[in-house]
A = this chain, B = another copy of it.
């Protein structure tokens, strides 16, 4: 199945998921077994299993019997016990979603869409937030592995190289997102952070008033941070301007961060700033609120706040739905065909220009 076909199938499934037949609830205390059906119909369990798994033709079950079974199964609302099924087949039809923090709007949004695509394909999701705690992260991956999830969707935090490599070595399907691990050859889906930052910086540079343009980022070796910085640098190089870079500690106290950003802007007399994450940009806005000073700015990742803020904040926004769709697509491909080659998918970003980078105010 080529990619575009696959895409269509997914879309189709998704669209029709909620319009299937009228839903019949079969929540009842005594779950009915395949052996009950076999007895009632005077047929063997094997036959029924074959029919239900679509192997009727292959196993030469007569059409008459096939229909009789199918009808009866529908009538009594039989559903195979998934645990028994999973135990036997080794497939749980569950994916593990490990994000940095599910309460972060970016991840929550991704999670929402991943959920939609997964469910449309018959997969459920176990989720968890790993924070920036490597030990916790490894433990959670181990837990999900022990639960025999069919695949992993992970935002790798630092220090996870070995465990991800271990998963791969054991042929566990994995797809990373938001950032990837250069040393480990895995599937990943990321935004085009480099170009996003490049275009944002260029946009700031094109306003002649912006002589001195700074970049606020985090102390982090993660690829998305590196790429954003590289994009910023390239734009500056093109215009032969000096770079001003400030990195904040990942778990810095908010007021400390605020003070640091304020100093950074003041000391360097910055006219404009590119913030590497929306969280940092929000911290930047608090500088504004506290010190009443705000240079031109662009933030990475959109946020409800940015549209409403006065002035509204320009952003490099990620195509969250596309990312989610690709994630599920790549992962399911790997699950269905373990031989499949590794996929690296880079999704373009969109530069949304608002007032914070154009208005002459401030």
Contact = CB atoms under 8 A, between A and B. Distances in A.
Contact of A108 (B92, B105, B146, B166): B105
Interface string A92-109: 101000000111110011
Nearest to A79: B146
Contacts of A17: 136
A200 B17 CA distance: 42
B115 A127 contact: yes
A27 B308 contact: no
A125 interface: yes
A102 B111 contact: yes
Contacts of A62: none
Interface string A118-132: 010000111111000
Given A87-B84, A135-B18, A146-B79, A27 B170 contact: yes
B102 A27 contact: no
Interface stretch (A281-289, A336-344, A345-353): A281-289
A143 to B, nearest CB: 7
A27 B167 contact: yes
Given A170-B28, A308-B305, A127 B127 contact: yes
A147 B119 CA distance: 13
A167 B29 CA distance: 9
A26 B145 CA distance: 9
Contacts of A92: 83
A82 interface: yes
Contact of A115 (B81, B128, B138): B128
B128 A126 contact: no
Greatest chain B CB density within 10 A among A82, A103, A309 is at A103
Contacts of A282: 304, 308
Interface string A61-95: 00000000000000000010111101100001010
B105 A101 contact: no
Given A138-B25, A142-B26, A285-B308, A18 B127 contact: no
A47 interface: no
A148 interface: yes
A112 interface: yes
Interface in A170-219: 170-172
Contacts of A133: 18
A310 interface: yes
Nearest to A128: B115
B124 A143 contact: yes
21 contacts: A18-B133, A23-B138, A25-B163, A27-B166, A27-B170, A27-B172, A29-B170, A83-B86, A94-B126, A103-B112, A105-B105, A111-B127, A124-B126, A124-B128, A282-B304, A282-B308, A286-B308, A304-B305, A305-B308, A308-B309, A309-B309
